[in-house]
């Protein structure tokens, strides 16, 4: 099955996201667990979540991907920010108990001057405190562009985080095509090489989701500016090859391209046509 979806707004509720996904030809989706740039948190309505679960099972969706807000910084040396990130992540994962097979994606954070090693240590300690043995959601560390002091621009850094956590059966990775391209992994020229590097360093069995984005900038630019699939520095055929690669079959692909719903519907239709 080819699972394709995009980032949707949670503001209209959970079931509403499922309906929007259906209306644009998606069979999975992503959403922010809370205001991406603010601090408010509202627990979702139980009936609304149950209605979404029903829609998901009736329509054969892949479980949704919940994305942590940008206000988290698990790598931070600032105790106030780190504690806020930890407590909020706990809350988010708690909510996901009610969504079977849910995935929870987060950015490993920025070390802001303390160095990558110390940042990795902080992120790993946060995961160790947050992850519990019987939890439902799998927590995915996202591959980053390596912009500024971002942790996670190299596969080795993700591996170093995972190596420091105990309950690693609950940890996976989400690969963002814009980010790894910007980080210097040439998925256009050598997709097989990049994926075998991923396999060697992290292990493909940890890969649970793909953010499918084009990039406004050339490979290795460390910028992180997403582009529409047909409209960036990565040749669109190379992005199609990502969706068709046997090592990535059955993974959910999530568009985070700058689009409205109509634009997403077009990209999804284009990708579906390219699968045949
Ligand atoms: Fe992200
Ligand atoms: Fe992403
Ligand atoms: Zn990004």
- Asked if residue 16 has pLDDT above 80, the reply is yes
Expressed in angstroms and rounded, the spacing between residue 13 Cα and the centre of ligand 3 is 24
pLDDT of residue 203: 98
Expressed in angstroms and rounded, the spacing between residue 72 Cα and the centre of ligand 1 is 11
User: Cα separation of 82 and 124, whole Å?
Assistant: 12
Percent of all residues in the chain with a pLDDT value above 90, rounded to a whole number: 96
Tokens of 89: 């992540």
Expressed in angstroms and rounded, the spacing between residue 33 Cα and the centre of ligand 2 is 14
- Of the bound ligands, which one is closest to the alpha carbon of residue 253? 2
- Asked if residue 246 has pLDDT above 80, the reply is yes
- 247-276: average pLDDT: 98
**Which residues have CB less than 5 Å away from ligand 1 (the ion)?**
142
**Which residues have CB less than 5 Å away from ligand 3 (the ion)?**
224
pLDDT of residue 37: 83
Expressed in angstroms and rounded, the spacing between residue 225 Cα and the centre of ligand 3 is 6
- 163-191: average pLDDT: 98
Q: Which long-range contacts (CB under 8 A, 24 or more apart) does 192-199 make?
A: 195/245, 195/247, 195/248, 197/155, 198/155, 199/247
pLDDT of residue 23: 98
37-46, 116-125, 128-137, range with the lowest pLDDT: 37-46
pLDDT of residue 115: 97
Q: Return the H-helix or E-strand segment holding 213.
A: none
Which tens digit of pLDDT belongs to each residue from 191-241? 999 999 999 999 999 999 999 999 999 999 999 999 999 999 999 999 999
Contact predicate 155/161, CB 8 Å: no
**Whole-model pTM over 0.85:** yes
């Amino acid at each position: 099955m080819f699972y394709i979806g995009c980032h949707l707004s949670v503001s209209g509720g959970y079931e509403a996201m499922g309906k929007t996904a259906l209306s644009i030809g998606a069979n999975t989706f992503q959403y922010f667990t809370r205001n991406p740039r603010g601090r408010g948190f509202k627990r979702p309505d139980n009936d609304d979540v149950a209605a979404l679960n029903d829609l998901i099972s009736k329509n054969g969706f892949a479980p949704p991907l919940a994305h942590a807000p940008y206000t988290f910084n698990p790598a931070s040396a600032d105790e106030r920010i780190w504690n806020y990130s930890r407590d909020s992540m706990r809350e988010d994962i708690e909510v996901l108990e009610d969504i079977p097979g849910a995935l929870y994606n987060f950015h490993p954070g920025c070390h802001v001057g303390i160095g990558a090693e110390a940042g990795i240590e902080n992120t790993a300690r946060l995961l160790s405190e947050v992850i519990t043995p019987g939890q439902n959601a799998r927590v995915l560390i996202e591959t980053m562009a390596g912009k500024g002091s971002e942790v996670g621009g190299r596969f080795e850094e993700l591996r170093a985080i995972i190596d420091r956590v105990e309950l690693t059966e609950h940890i996976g990775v989400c690969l963002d095509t814009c980010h790894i391209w910007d980080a210097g992994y040439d998925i256009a020229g050598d997709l097989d090489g990049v994926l075998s590097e991923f396999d060697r360093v992290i292990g493909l069995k940890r890969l649970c989701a793909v953010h499918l984005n084009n990039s406004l900038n050339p490979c290795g630019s460390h910028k992180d500016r997403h582009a529409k699939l047909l409209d960036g520095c990565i040749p669109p055929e190379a992005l199609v090859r990502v969706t068709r690669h046997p090592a990535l079959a059955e993974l959910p692909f999530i568009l985070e391209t700058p689009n409205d719903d109509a634009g997403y519907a077009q990209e999804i239709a284009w990708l579906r046509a390219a699968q045949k």
